[in-house]
Structure formats: structure tokens, C-alpha cells
Structure 1
Amino acid sequence: MYRGASVGVVIPAYNEEGFVGDVIREMPGYVDRIYAIDDRSTDGTRAEIREAAREDAIGNAGRVDEAGERLAADGGASALATRATVGDAIGRVVPIEHRENRGAGGAIKTGYLAALADGVDATVTVDADGQMDLCQMQRLLDPIVEGEADYTKGNRLLSREYRAAMPRFRLVGNATLTFLTKIASGYWKTMDPQNGYTAISHDALAAIDVPALYEYYGYCNDLLVKLNVHGMRVADVAMPAVYGEEESSITYSRYVPKVSLLLLRDFLWRLRTKYLVLDCHPLALLYLFGAATAATAVLGAGTALGSAFSSGGVPAVRVATSLLLLVAGIGFLLLAMVFDMAESEPLETQVR
């Protein structure tokens, strides 16, 4: 228990032999449940999870565990049973094995379903590669326990010292996805959306449709969009970037385009759901009108260029019209973004 709240930690693991055991053994004593998900690893990850769990159980012998000794027979447990095998708890560790590889997001979803079924008050996600400083976990939990946030996430970009530890190619990719996620999610002050060190309250987890969350990398971006639609408060918590011997499995040349398409779909879904279905708000129409105007300008410019090749010149009126429409379209889009920022501003905070 942490300040009266039960705490669960989800550890997604795929081929993390040599790392995941240390993460489990170093878990703070106030953590009540550790959901260690083996995502069909092909190395010794599964065995290492169980061995570390036994060592952790011996080290914590006699502790009082009130986070729940079972997976309740509710919707969360039912959804979990269709995708994974849940082993008997070894002390506070619940070993879970996927029947097929589902990616990082899929493993997080499995852990979230288990935490929901157990009724855990706050659920933290921690990577199995040892990149995350477990001493910082309290800083993620404090805003949730104090009722100031529904979801907290680490942010490695809030200080120059933290950014300096991040490899440059990761920093560029992160900055690109940060900008796109701001637009898609509506959380305009939120940065470093790829940071997997997060905590979420039970109420926030219950509000979103966990089984419908995106799987594989990009799940954290998709989750932010879902949280915004449900009006959840998000806190960015300054965290150091830690990189050691582990190797990233992300190929940015494929990752960034794929997640960018996901964010475009999420953005359109958010506008429709939040501003048209749940509420009748002119912001969605302003976005759509701006995009339509800008697109009309681009098409007009294309037609004008086609005429230029065939006739040898472009009428000045057509050029001016296209330019005016483009400026107007961009103006409408910027105005929509300003209104969007104002709508979500009360839902955002930063902890340095």
C-alpha cells in the first residue's frame, strides 16, 4: 500500500532475460501486486520471472498483501482469460503468459485487465529492461493519491540534463511524435508521449475501453487520446532518461509513419466523439472547415499548374484565389487549435 492506496505494477516483457529479474527484485516494498507478462518470449524470460518472483516472495515474507488474492470473475477477468494464462501468484508477483505475441501495447492491456479485475487503486507501468528508476515511482503516484491527476507519465524532455542522456536519433523521433500526439490527443502541454513509465487511477482505467486500446508500440499515444475524450486529468512528471546495455526494438523508419497514421485516425475519432457525439461543439466543424479550405486551395493550385503547362501561363486571379484560400484554411486550423488548447488546459499539469 502507498499512502492508503493499493498499487499494482505492470511489467511487459519480451525477450528480456538478464533484465526483467532485476526489475522484479528491485520493486519497492509498497507495491502490492506485480503483473509480469511474458509476451511469448523465445529466451529465458519466463523462467527468470518465476525465479525472481520466488526470491521476491522470500524477501517479503510476512508482509501484509491487501491488493487482492484472486482475479475476480468480472468483465476484466473474462477478457483477460481469452488472451493469456494467469499463473498462481508467487508472493506479490502474478506471472502471466501470452498465448501469442501481442506486442508491448498488448502486454500492457493484459496487465491493465488484471489490475482492473483485482480492483487495484493505482496501476504503474514499468519496462522490463531496467531503463526506469524505480525510486521515482512515488512521484508518479503522488498526484493520483492526492486526487490531482487521473494519469501520470514520465517526461524526459522537461530539463536539458534529462534530454542530454537520450540518444539523438531517439530525441528527434520523440519530438516528432510529441507534436503529432499533442494535436491528436488534445493534451497540448504534454510531452514525451513515448515514455512508458506511467501510473493510472482505477477510475480512469475503468472509464476507458481497455480491450479496444491499440496494441504494439503506439499504445501510449492512443491511451492519451482516449483519456482526453473522457476528461481525465494528466500530469507530466520530470524523469531522467536511463540507457544501458539494453537494445531498443523500435525501428523508427517504420515506427514513426505507422504511429502517425494511428494518430490521424485517433484525432478524427476524438473530434467526432468528444465534440459531436458527446457534445455539440463548433470546434470540430472549425477543424473540418479549415482542413477543407486548405485542401481546396491545394487542389486549385494543382489545377492552375496543370493549366500552366498546357497554355503557357497561370491567370493571376487563380493564383491569388488559391493563396487566399490556403491562408484562410491555415488560419481556421490555428484558431481551432487555440480553442482545443483552451478546452484541455484544465486537464493538464506538470510536476518538476
Structure 2
Amino acid sequence: MLKVEAPINAPVAEHSNTLSSALRDGHIWIVIPCYKVRNHILRVIEKIPAWIEGIVCVDDACPENTADFLEAENPDSRLVVVRLPQNLGVGGAVLAGYVEAERRGGRILVKVDGDDQMDLTFLAQLVAPILLGEADYTKGNRFSSISHLTDMPRVRLFGNAALSFAAKVSTGYWNVFDPTNGFTAIEASMIKLLSGRRISQRFFFETDLLYHLGTLRAVVRDIPIPARYGDEVSNLRVGAIIGPFALKHLKNFVQRIIGQYFVRDFNVATMEMMFGVGFLGFGSIYALRWFAVRMPGEDADAGLVMTAALPVIVGVQLLLQVMNFDVVNVPNRPIHPYLRTLMKLEGD
């Protein structure tokens, strides 16, 4: 049975009959990147429901020879094993799996980690918005309920909260949270649009993919899904990724602002941004210059204070307006139905 929680109760219930049929005929494939998960991978495959059409396991030059292990065990007739000659990271492995699954006829591609942290009873919830034409990409969100956070280690809890806000700013998806969540689903027609793009292939993959989806104006939806933590060992070291992640977020933010507000469009928010930065910069520089040249003990008069403060206040207000425009400008019309129609017309 379909497992559903708020806030997606109503949409799924409305289309329950359509969804039941679509799950069987939806050409849904699972993609599992495999690197040091040999002790868990068979449990993951055993839990994949029968309505999944195929499974692609990508051996990312795993030192545990996961590909040989899977081929020897042959746990599922739907299984396809892909071997990468060198380690590409989780992103590189997932992209290779996407290409293989799409080549074999997959229409919706679900990325699942091989460490058995993800509850596969939520698979139907994850793919439902795409099947119903309401989203191009869905992802799990462990922060949708306090009960989902009880088992999350405190370091991961605070780290993910900080990364979530940074991702909102850099990707423009203010409606999503938990950007590093690896339990995701994507409509296969999006893969062709993403091919050739320089998507980060390491631990920044999920967040960088969101940025590139944003440049396509794809619709992304969060699905409430709790995580599970057991005896798995994470390959991610928080201290080692803080600096690189911050730089990548800054780079994506600058590229997004230039592309969205100066290249692909030029609107009222662009004007507010230009004047806001100008006023804020003028007021700040004027005040700093006065502090640099003032005599010891000299006090600023009212005119000087207002000359510095008023532009700063106006600049901040204009930039807050830009932020508000950016928040309400989140994509809300899925693009994959149009891509599918276009592909069909080109095929005819």
C-alpha cells in the first residue's frame, strides 16, 4: 500500500488509482552507487519492491570488489552491474548509473545509497509527484518532523541545517531543505538536459545538481522521509568539507544571480539589486572613509551620520525586496511533460 504523510496526503489520495497503475507501468529504475558498502548492499537489494523495473549497481572502483560480489551472488534478476575503471565519487557513479538506466528504458530514476540508511517503504511517495506530473525531481527531507530527527547524530543535525540554508541561497530553491539527502528521484528526460554540465562528482553532488536543475527551471519537491542510522561508516568528514562547500556555494550563488537576473532576464528585482548594492556600498564606504580620516576625539555631526546611514538603510531594504522576489520566484511548473512531448514529436 502507498505510505503517505502530510503535506502530500491530498494529492496522492486524489490520484490513488492512477498512481497504483503508474507504479506498475512507470518504468522506474533504482540506481545504487557502490563504494565500501559490500556488507549492506544485499540487504538493500532484498528490500526493493517488485514494481521496480530494474536496478543498476555502479561499482565505483570499489576496493571491496562489489561488482564481482554481486555477480557471484546474483541476488536479483533485475540487477545490472556497471563497473567504473576509476573512482569518480558518489556523483560520478550516480550519473553513470542514470545514463545506463535511461539507456535501458528507465523513465523515473531513483538514487538509493548502498549503506541501508534509506527506508525503501517510502519509494512510492518519492516517485508519486513525478508520476503525477507535479515535479521533475524529488528528494527526501529528514527535517520535516521532529520525530524524524531523534536518531540523527547531533553533528549531522546542525551541519545539515547550516548547509540547507546555504543551499537555499546558492540554488534558489527556497522551498526545499536537507540538500545533502541522497534519497532522490528524477525524471529521465532531465538527464539529457544535464549531460555535458560540470556537475560536482564528489560529496557536493546533490547540492550542485539542485543548482543545475534551478538553471533549467525544473520543479523540485521535498518528501518527508526519516533516515536510519546503524553500523555503517560514513566516508564524509565534516571538517574537511566546510571550506570547499562554502566556496562552491559562493560560486554557484554568483553564477545563479548573474544568469537569472542579468543574462536570462532583466526585471524589477535586477534594478532593485543594482540600486541596493550601490546605496549600501556608498553608505558603507562613506562611513569607513570618515572613520579613517577623522581626528582623535572628533564626533560625527547629524548630517554626516545621515549621509552614511540613509543609503545603508535604503540599500538593505532594496536587497530584502530582492530576496523576497527570489523566494516567490521558485519554479512551480514541471518541464518534463513538455520534454516528453517534444521527444515524441521528434521521434515521429
TM bucket by the smaller chain?
Answer: 0.7 to 0.9
How far, CA to CA, are the matches of 1:275 and 1:114 in structure 2? 36
Q: Match for residue 146 of structure 1?
A: 132
Contact in 2 for aligned 1:234/1:347 (Cα 8 Å): no
The answer to whether the aligner puts 1:167 opposite 2:150 as a matched pair is: no
1:280–1:29 Cα change, 3 Å: same
Contact in 2 for aligned 1:307/1:313 (Cα 8 Å): no
1:291–1:209 Cα change, 3 Å: farther
The answer to whether the aligner puts 1:235 opposite 2:221 as a matched pair is: yes
The answer to whether the aligner puts 1:56 opposite 2:42 as a matched pair is: no
Q: Deviations over 1:237-274 (max 9, x none)?
A: 00012111012222222323322221222122222333
Q: Match for residue 341 of structure 1?
A: 327
The answer to whether the aligner puts 1:185 opposite 2:205 as a matched pair is: no
Q: Deviations over 1:315-345 (max 9, x none)?
A: 3455544433333332222111111122116
Q: How far has the Cα of 1:301 moved from its partner?
A: 4.3
How far, CA to CA, are the matches of 1:196 and 1:270 in structure 2? 23
Alignment partner of 2:300 out of 315, 319, 344: 315
Contact in 2 for aligned 1:37/1:95 (Cα 8 Å): yes
Contact in 1 for aligned 2:143/2:177 (Cα 8 Å): yes
Q: How far has the Cα of 1:43 moved from its partner?
A: 2.3
Q: How far has the Cα of 1:48 moved from its partner?
A: 2.8
1:100–1:305 Cα change, 3 Å: farther
1:99–1:129 Cα change, 3 Å: same
How far, CA to CA, are the matches of 1:243 and 1:23 in structure 2? 14
Q: Which amino acid aligns with 2:264?
A: L
Q: Match for residue 30 of structure 2?
A: 9
Q: How far has the Cα of 1:312 moved from its partner?
A: 5.0
1:313–1:158 Cα change, 3 Å: same
Q: How far has the Cα of 1:300 moved from its partner?
A: 4.2
Q: How far has the Cα of 1:182 moved from its partner?
A: 1.0
The answer to whether the aligner puts 1:212 opposite 2:198 as a matched pair is: yes
Contact in 2 for aligned 1:112/1:210 (Cα 8 Å): no
How far, CA to CA, are the matches of 1:346 and 1:225 in structure 2? 16
1:211–1:345 Cα change, 3 Å: closer
Q: Match for residue 265 of structure 2?
A: 279
The answer to whether the aligner puts 1:39 opposite 2:39 as a matched pair is: no
Q: How far has the Cα of 1:178 moved from its partner?
A: 0.8
Q: How far has the Cα of 1:297 moved from its partner?
A: 4.2
Task: Give structure 2 stretches of 5+ with no counterpart.
Answer: 1-21, 335-348
Q: How far has the Cα of 1:56 moved from its partner?
A: 1.4
Q: Match for residue 77 of structure 1?
A: none
Q: How far has the Cα of 1:186 moved from its partner?
A: 1.6
How far, CA to CA, are the matches of 2:31 and 2:331 in structure 1? 29
Q: Match for residue 106 of structure 1?
A: 92
Q: Which amino acid aligns with 1:274?
A: Q
SS in structure 1 of the partner of residue 158 of structure 2: helix
More displaced stretch, 26-35 vs 202-211: 202-211
Report the number of matched residues.
312
Contact in 2 for aligned 1:21/1:48 (Cα 8 Å): no
How far, CA to CA, are the matches of 2:305 and 2:100 in structure 1? 59
Contact in 2 for aligned 1:109/1:210 (Cα 8 Å): no
Q: Match for residue 332 of structure 1?
A: 318
The answer to whether the aligner puts 1:124 opposite 2:110 as a matched pair is: yes
Q: Which amino acid aligns with 1:45?
A: T
1:207–1:305 Cα change, 3 Å: same
Q: Match for residue 48 of structure 2?
A: 27
1:337–1:18 Cα change, 3 Å: same
Q: How far has the Cα of 1:289 moved from its partner?
A: 4.2
Identity %: 32
- Give the structure-1-normalised TM-score: 0.80
SS in structure 2 of the partner of residue 40 of structure 1: coil
Give the alignment of 1:194-273 within 5 angstroms.
194-209=180-195, 211-273=197-259
Q: Which amino acid aligns with 2:32?
A: I
How far, CA to CA, are the matches of 1:147 and 1:17 in structure 2? 36
Contact in 2 for aligned 1:20/1:48 (Cα 8 Å): no
SS in structure 1 of the partner of residue 50 of structure 2: coil
- Give the structure-2-normalised TM-score: 0.81
